[in-house]
Homo-oligomer: A and B are copies of this chain.
Amino acid sequence: MRPVLVETVAALRTRVAEARGRGATVGFVPTMGALHEGHARLIEAARRDCGALVVSIFVNPLQFDRADDLARYPRALDRDVEMCRGLGVDLVFSPPVTEMYPAPAACTVDPGRLADHLCGRFRPGHFRGVATVVLKLLNIVQPDTASFGEKDAQQLAIVRRLVTEFNVPVAIAGVPTVREADGLALSSRNARLTPAERALAPSLYRALRAAADAIEAGETDAGAAARDAAARLPADPLMRLEYLDIVDPDEVQPVREIGGPVLVAGALWVGGTRLIDNVRCEPPAGAREAARARRSPS
C-alpha cells in the first residue's frame, strides 16, 4: 500500500499529523520528479534517519527562467511513485500547480547576494523561485529534517541560509552527489542528451576535478586554477562553458586567494542541455597558511 500519493496541502498535513501522532519523526526530500539513482540515494539516506518519509514531486514553474526548459522538463509520475514504493517512502506529495499557486504570487523569498554568482548570474529569478517553493514546502510538510543533494550546491547554500535566517525549525541535510562511472553527475536533464552529447558531458566534472586537484596540491590563486581547468575542456562545437568559478561555499562569493574550503562549480551547455556540477575542496594546511600570510600585511 505504500506510498500514499496525496495532491493537496490539507491531505498532506492530515497524513503527517497522523505520523506525528504515532510518535514518528518526519523526513522530507523535495524533488521535481523524473527520479533517478541520485534521488534514490538521497531518499535512502533520508529514510535511515526518520520514522515517516515524505517525498514531494513538484515541477515548480516559479524557478524556471526559460519557458522552453519548463515545457521540456521530464515528467514521469507513475514511474516516480513506483521508485518511491521500492524505497520505503511513506507519502508522495504531488500537488498540481494550482494547489501550490492558487493566485499569482505577490510574496517571494529574495536570496539576496547568495544568488549573485554561479547559476544565479545566468538564471535571473531562478533562486528566488527555488527559495520560495522550498519555504512553502517546509511549511506544508514541517519535517524534522529535509535532505537536498550537494549537486545543486548554490541551492543548498541558499536553503541552509534561509532556514537559519528565517528561523525555520528544521535540520537541513546535504547528501553527496551521485556520479556515473565516468564522473558525470546524475541529473534528470541527462535524459535529454544524445549519445554524442553524453560522450562529451563528463568533461565538466573532469575540469572541476582538475581545479580541485590543483588546489589540493597547493594552488591558492583561484583565477589561475579556474582558467587552467576551463582550458582542459575539449573544443567542440556542441559544448559551451557558461561558467567555471571558485567561490566560498557558504556566502557563494568569488574567492581570489584560496585560504580555506572552496566550491569549484561550473555550468556547461552540451547541445541544448545545461549541465551543472561542483566539487568541494580545500588547500593543504601549508598552502592555507602561506595564503593567509600573503593576505595579512603584518
Q: Which residues of A contact B (CB under 8 A)?
A: 9, 13, 105-114, 128, 131-132, 135-136, 139-140, 142, 158, 161-162, 165-169, 251
Contact = CB atoms under 8 A, between A and B. Distances in A.
A260 B105 CA distance: 23
Given A9-B167, A167-B9, A107 B162 contact: yes
Q: Which 10 A-B pairs have the closest CB atoms?
A: A139-B167, A106-B112, A107-B162, A110-B110, A107-B165, A140-B167, A106-B114, A136-B167, A108-B110, A139-B168
Q: How many copies does the complex hold?
A: 2
A206 to B, nearest CB: 32
A277 B271 CA distance: 58
Nearest to A128: B110
A110 B111 contact: no
Contacts of A168: 139
**Chain A interface SS verdict (over half):** helix
Given A109-B109, A139-B166, 4 more contacts: A106-B111, A106-B113, A106-B165, A135-B166
A63 to B, nearest CB: 15
Contact of A107 (B105, B166, B169): B166
A111, A166, A169 interface centre (most CB from chain B within 10 Å) = A166
A8 to B, nearest CB: 12
Contacts of A135: 166
Contacts of A114: 106-107
19 contacts: A9-B167, A13-B169, A105-B112, A106-B112, A106-B114, A106-B165, A106-B251, A107-B110, A107-B111, A107-B131, A107-B158, A107-B166, A108-B109, A109-B109, A110-B110, A132-B166, A136-B165, A139-B166, A139-B168
Nearest to A136: B167
A107 B161 contact: yes
Contact of A166 (B110, B136, B167): B136
A167 B110 CA distance: 17
A251 B113 CA distance: 28
Contact of A169 (B109, B112, B142, B167): B142
